[in-house]
Chains A and B, each alone.
With several copies, the nearest count.
Chain A
Amino acid sequence: MKYRLLYFASLRDRAGVDSETVESFAADARNLYAELRARHGFAMDADCLRVAINGEFAAWDRALADGDEIVFIPPVSGG
């Protein structure tokens, strides 16, 4: 399936892009993160991150659909 990824903060720096479209067999965000972590060398464990799917926070094991926009959310530091 095709997924749209957006990257922010240290993940963006590490990936070297602010977004990308990937082809993957990963059926949920947990497996997708493991795959992308291996490819980009992300330092953070999934336990440190939250995941957003199509603009809303979601569970890591929610089934992904083709065309979903997925964002891994590092601990926030606004304010």
Chain B
Amino acid sequence: MFRLSDDTIDAATLTRGLAHTRAGACVAFEGWVRDHNDGRRVLRLDYQAYTALAQTQGERILAEAREKFAILDACCVHRVGALAIGDLAVWVGVSAAHRGAAFDACRYIIDAVKSRVPIWKNEHYADGESGWLHP
């Protein structure tokens, strides 16, 4: 399940959603809003998404992970809108019988999300400037 959310992400509930009696391992990645980037102090940020394409890309990435790795379930939720320092910006969770596949799939998903899902970060800096990150 891939989802964009304009509300707080509830990691505990999402983790329970990956439960499976055959699951021995669950690996979760949380992306948190840092107070700095590239040496500049960040106060807060906004995420903007191209919703339709983000949804199809997100679902495709999860399907790829299920094909490539011996996992039981995978889920990714990404925030949009205004976030503060420390907020949970993106959550990826994977359950599997064994931990190797869970680690590899979780890493694969977050790497692919960061490179392919059309979501953009606008950072607001302590000096009053702001800027869209287009790495």
Contact = CB atoms under 8 A, between A and B. Distances in A.
Interface residues of B, number: 26
B124 interface: no
Most-contacted residue by chain B among A10, A55, A56, A77 (CB, 10 A): A77
- A interface: dominant SS: mixed
Find the residue from A12, A75, A76, A78 having the highest chain B CB count within 10 A: A78
B117 to A, nearest CB: 5
Contacts of A73: 50, 53, 118
Given A8-B48, A9-B48, A10-B132, A78 B53 contact: no
Interface of A: 6, 8-10, 12-13, 44, 48, 52, 55-57, 71, 73-79
Interface of B: 31, 47-50, 52-53, 56, 78, 89-90, 110, 113-122, 132-135
